[in-house]
A = this chain, B = another copy of it.
Amino acid sequence: MTQTSAPVSGDIRVAVSTVIFSLRHHPGQDRPTVVLPLVRRTRDPHEGAWALPGGWLGVDEGFETAASRTLAETTSLAPSYLEQLYAFGDVDRSPSRVVSIVYWALVREEEASTAHRDRVDDENVAWFDANDLPDLAFDHAHIIDYALWRLRNKVGYSRIAHGLLPDAFTLADLREVYEAILGRRLDPANFRRQVENSDTLLPTETFRTGSHRPARLYRYNQDVELAERGPLPAART
């Protein structure tokens, strides 16, 4: 009774793409912006347009393996953890029928800069401000919109801390990350209260000193982070 009545899907190909978000501080601007790497297509369809890093799923390759491989080949990035964003399958999203399984990750600013230096001679890879994207191939503008929506709406304090900040950070560092993602200023006192009322951050006994008064460093709570990931990573092997 199952799988008997539909046309066979032999003419559908499966690709894997990745949306990698990072932050970049710009000289003279008071908060960083959200950036992501894109790869310029060197063949049709959409030759010359920018696209998300990605490629075909190998027949012996799991989704995450393919996502990591194609991301490394194109951008030199190797995030420690990729999460499935969504599967995109509109019939008309490509001239031939292509289903794209999209993964996403956050990487720290240093990691993004290092990968960029490795590719500095490659004019077909570049980081773009999420608010100022070039012409994009296929439905990749739609995919990035969705990824940004997920970033703004669904990411918990701990995951942002994990993905975009060093291991220890001040509440001002964390607020700056939120301000970049949300695109607006947050009230420092309210922000501190919200964070302190959650169990996602743990205070350390270390303070950052400098031109301002000493600021306590925090680290994220690993227990919460692991719980948020859900049952899949363990079961996927």
**A81 at the A/B interface (Cβ < 8 Å)?**
no
Q: How far is the CB of A24 from chain B (nearest CB, A)?
A: 22
Task: Give Cα A101 to B7, complex, Å.
Answer: 16
* Chain A contact residue count (CB 8 A cutoff): 62
Which residues of B lie under 8 Å from residue A51 when comparing CB positions? 2
Stoichiometry (number of copies): 2
The interface residues of chain B lying within 8 Å CB-to-CB of A15 are 3, 9
Does A124 count as interface, using CB distance less than 8 angstroms? yes
Q: Taking the complex as formed, is A236 at the interface, i.e. its CB lies under 8 A from any CB of chain B?
A: yes
Tell me if B232 and A6 are in contact (CB < 8 A): no
A125 cross-chain contacts in B, Cβ below 8 A: 1
Please state if A97 and B1 are interface contacts (CB–CB under 8 Å): no
Between A and B, 28 residue pairs with Cβ closer than 8 Å are A1-B40, A2-B42, A2-B53, A2-B54, A2-B74, A3-B54, A3-B55, A4-B42, A5-B73, A6-B55, A6-B58, A7-B58, A8-B13, A8-B56, A9-B56, A9-B59, A11-B59, A12-B14, A14-B14, A57-B99, A60-B91, A61-B91, A62-B90, A62-B91, A86-B232, A142-B235, A145-B231, A153-B230
